[in-house]
Structures are given as structure tokens and as C-alpha cells.
Amino acid sequence: MVYGVIVAILFAGDFFLKKQVEEKIEKDQQHEVCGGKIVIQKYYNNGAALNFMEKRPKVLRSFCGGIVLIVGIIWYLFLREKRNPGVLLGLSLMLGGGASNLYDRIIKGHVVDYFSFRTPWNWFNKIVFNISDMFIFAGSILVVLFGKGK
């Protein structure tokens, strides 16, 4: 039950943040926070990471839908058997984040991204994220860390 709540909270939380960004931030505005280390902005990502496959939105939407479906099935199997809480938490993060981004792709035709980091690496500064991206990344790390062994 708790893992289902995690998925729902992650989806709803990012949905709320995206809605706030869409309503309150103009397309070219940038707001620095955390001493300029994080930049809040509105960015519509028509592709996957770094606009990968932006020219093939239907293929990308189907591919992402398939991944979310597979993660959901694996999540359900782990949940049903109450196996490996670390992997289950990781899958929950991935499922909540993936479902949120997939929702954007289906309903809006793009994913709403809204923050980037200021680092010494210019190439990294150009990447705009949303919280779901962070959940997917963190969940993937948990699955790898806790997935080893029995």
C-alpha cells in the first residue's frame, strides 16, 4: 500500500509543480534560487533527454509508454510478493516519475521541464529537468544498488 501512495504522491507533486510553472512563469523567464545554483524556467521538451527523438513524437510516446508499462508490471510483481523493499522503492520512484512525464507527452505533446543547475560545465547547464526526471534517476540507482543478490 505504501508504495502505491509513493507513486501517487510523486505523480501528483510533479503535476502540481508543472502546473505552477505553466501558469506563473513566462517562456523566456529565468529565476535563480539557492544562490544561483539552480535556475527555475519553463521549457517544453518535445523529445526525450536532450530532445532525443523530438522529430518522432509518436514513436517516442509509444516507446515511453512501453517502458512505463514494463516498469509497472515489474513493480506489481515485486509488490505482490513483497520482495526487496529497496528495489520496490526504486521501482516506485521510476513509475511515479515515468507516469508523470508520459502523461505530459500524451496530453500536451511535450514534457514540461522547469529547472537546471549552474555548474562549471556549460553543456550540463543547458539541460533542463523536472522533478520526475530526478525520481527516475534516483529510482534507477536504487534498483541497481538493491537489485544485486537475492
> Mind telling me the catalytic residues?
113, 133
Q: Tell me how far apart the alpha carbons of residues 36 and 115 are, in angstroms, rounded to a whole number.
A: 12
Q: Which residue(s) pair with 112 in the sheet?
A: 44
